[in-house]
Amino acid sequence: MTPRIFAYIAHKGGVADDSAAELLAAAKKIDAGASPAALVTGWGAELDSVCEILRGSYAEVWKVASESLAYPNAELVRKALVKVLPPGCIVLVPHNHFGIDLAPGLSIKLNAAFVSDVMGIDGIDGASLKVVRQEFGGQMSTHVRCDISTGAVVNVRPGAFKAVDGVPAGGAVVDKSSDVGALTAGRRYLEIIAAEAGDVDITKEPVLVSIGRGIQEKDNVAIAQELADAMGAAVSCSRPVVDAKWLPKSRQVGSSGQTVRPKIYLACGMSGSFQHLAGLKGNPFIVAINKNPKAPIFQVADVGIVADILEFLPELTTKIREMKKVSV
Amino acid sequence: MEILVCARRVPDTSENEIQLNSSGNDIEYDDLVYSINEPDNYAVEEALQIVAKSGGNVTVATVGTDEDEEILRREMAMGANHGVLLSDDAFGGSDGKGIATILKGLVQKRKYDLILTGVQAEDGGAQVGGMLAAMLDYPFASLVNSVEVLEGKKLKVGREIEGGNKEMSEVDLPCVLSIQTGINEPRYVGMRGIRQVASLEIPTYGASDLGVDASSVGEAAARVKREDYFVPALGKGAEMLEGSSDEIIDKLVELMKAKGGLQ
């Protein structure tokens, strides 16, 4: 028999995260007949509002209300979940900044197996759950077998499972708050410091020349800037360029950076990690330029060019400048 | 402050084209270029910066074999005071929980005020630090992009959350933090620096040295196992532009004009 499946639902301002529908889809991949329960922690009217929304899609909503859970501190949430969850269950958690904080420790306290950043689910075979992960920057996929005989915590990659339309569930809200009691943690939330605004707002630009590790050094950023100037575009980047301090954080596209909606996106010398692509919305026309023909970016791009960007971008800049001269 | 940094040697994704081997279910390991897992290197740099301000020692540990010693030496060349290799036949095939169990043995033997890991290695996907903290009942914070030592055995820690925002928390010591790339600028290590630490002794500890029950680690205890590698199914895939670079550029310019990206 398939273990009971729970989906941990992140929420903000009384609204459930997009992952609520994705985790439901992932649960159905584990067991098409499963009736997973949503698991929601929080406090006050916002929590009630999320529970009400989730009743529409989940057959059961487990609500854990505590003033100490008003802000989702992973250590406190973990302690609450350990008190509430039945032994041997499968817990699905979104693999984002909160799930990474919560799930590994939760698996230890539940004595459950843990598998991280899952992007595909083959299903259950006896006492094991077979899932798909990626390694080597997305160059390789791998099947992973997870022994679920004492339960499992599964971190699910955001965006990997498409929400499925279902009949409205009209689920019941089950209040588990009284199981939790007082909670304390060795880590205490202080505040959120908002991202600094940059010199250029890449979220408003229709054309982005976006650079990755392939730009190789800081001085080469000028090559991308020259192309952007010729095209009337702006320069954005992926994480390694910010880590190396070649461009400010405000230019980073991705889940930990900006979400952009350009019409055209030139992905130059970048692998195309899912964290990066998570920041690229609105179905832009993607041109990928990378010297590695196996770079995963070619799977998602519309047009691909195998070339060294340090040679290709200046040639493209020259061509566009010539065109503009002619047309003037 | 006594700081332990847990590090790993991994195939360097930026240096390798990963291929399947002839049997088609595993990757080709010959000619792979290995290096320290990138976030782990940032963790070592952060540890060095903390002891430069607050005093103490930095120990770098890895679970592996003799081949993994090279990353310990590299981090010692950066300035880590000690390297420790955790190696035993019983450790082979450990899953994330097994690795955390081995590291827990070291922490209980040596007592550290602060334990750092890199935020993730690709085959695990961010798990060992959080598991280790839960096993020790220490506080944990992941995706850490700033650390400040406060009075009274506490840290002020920043975490990278969505949209470039930063979540600030106060964390009691001892604790475990997983360090995000970009938190600092790791110092350069030259060949000369590595030669200077070449003869330093690196102790090796096995299961009995660490008080680790051999049946709780290794392949037999692993509940999570990789079965194979395979090449991901291509999505629709890009239309690849081919020809001379002039031809490619002409085609690209036409396409971008058609999409309204060039006036």
pTM of the model: 0.93
Q: Over the range A222-244, which residues count as b (16 or more CB within 10 Å of their CB) and which as e?
A: ebbbbbbbbbebbbbbbbbbbbb
pLDDT surpasses 60 at B98: yes
Q: What pLDDT, on a 0 to 100 scale, did the predictor assign at position B14?
A: 72
Q: Shortest CB distance from B253 goes to which of A187, A296, A319?
A: A319
Task: Give the model's confidence band at A123: pLDDT under 50 very low, under 70 low, under 90 confident, else very high.
Answer: very high
Here the tokens at position B131 are 């598991």
Mean pLDDT of chain B, nearest integer:
94
List of domains in chain B: 2-221 (3.40.50.620)
Q: Shortest CB distance from B140 goes to which of A105, A301, A307?
A: A105
What's the farthest any 2 CA atoms get from each other in chain B? 71
> Pairing relation of β-strands A60-65 and A172-175?
parallel
When the candidates are 3.40.50.620, 3.40.50.2000, 1.20.1270.10, 3.40.640.10, the CATH number that belongs to A5-179 is 3.40.50.620
Q: What pLDDT, on a 0 to 100 scale, did the predictor assign at position B263?
A: 67
Q: Do B130 and A95 touch (CB under 8 A)?
A: no
> If you average pLDDT over residues A264-275, what whole number do you get?
93
> If you average pLDDT over residues A62-71, what whole number do you get?
97
ipTM score for this prediction: 0.94
Q: For an interface test with B, give the residue of A236, A305, A323, A327 to mutate (most B CBs within 10 A).
A: A305
- Return all residues near A86 (Cβ < 8 A) that are at least 6 apart: A4
**CA separation for the pair B107, A51 (Å, rounded):** 42
User: pLDDT, tens digit, for every residue of A309-328?
Assistant: 999 999 999 999 998 887 65
Task: Give the model's confidence band at A95: pLDDT under 50 very low, under 70 low, under 90 confident, else very high.
Answer: very high
Q: What pLDDT, on a 0 to 100 scale, did the predictor assign at position A198?
A: 86
For tokens 């270029």, what's the residue? B33
Chain A residue numbers with beta carbons less than 8 Å from the beta carbon of B240 are: 298, 303-306
User: pLDDT, tens digit, for every residue of B146-200?
Assistant: 999 999 999 999 999 988 899 999 999 999 999 999 999 999 998 899 999 999 9
Q: Shortest CB distance from A189 goes to which of B97, B169, B239?
A: B169
Question: Three-state SS across B175-195?
Answer: EEEEECCCCCCCCCCCHHHHH
Q: What pLDDT, on a 0 to 100 scale, did the predictor assign at position B234?
A: 64
Q: What pLDDT, on a 0 to 100 scale, did the predictor assign at position B123?
A: 76
User: pLDDT, tens digit, for every residue of B240-256?
Assistant: 999 999 999 999 999 99
Q: What pLDDT, on a 0 to 100 scale, did the predictor assign at position A328?
A: 57
Question: Three-state SS across B192-220?
Answer: HHHHHCCCCCCCEECHHHHCCCHHHCHHH
Question: Which class is A202-327 in CATH?
Answer: alpha beta
Chain B residue numbers with beta carbons less than 8 Å from the beta carbon of A301 are: 238
Query: Domains of chain A: which residue ranges?
Result: 5-179, 202-327
Q: What residues pair up with A175 in beta bridges, in sequence order?
A: A63
DSSP-based helix, strand, coil % in chain B, nearest 5: 35, 25, 40
Interchain contact A121–B (C-beta under 8 A): no
Nearest to A76 by CA among A238, A179, A166, A184: A184
> If you average pLDDT over residues A287-301, what whole number do you get?
92
pLDDT surpasses 60 at A154: yes
Chain A residue numbers with beta carbons less than 8 Å from the beta carbon of B124 are: 116
> If you average pLDDT over residues A11-35, what whole number do you get?
94
A residues 42-71 lying closer than 8 A (beta carbon) to B: none
- List the single residue in B with minimal CA-CA distance to A241: B182
Q: For an interface test with B, give the residue of A73, A130, A136 to mutate (most B CBs within 10 A).
A: A136
Q: Do A144 and B123 touch (CB under 8 A)?
A: no
> If you average pLDDT over residues B28-36, what whole number do you get?
90
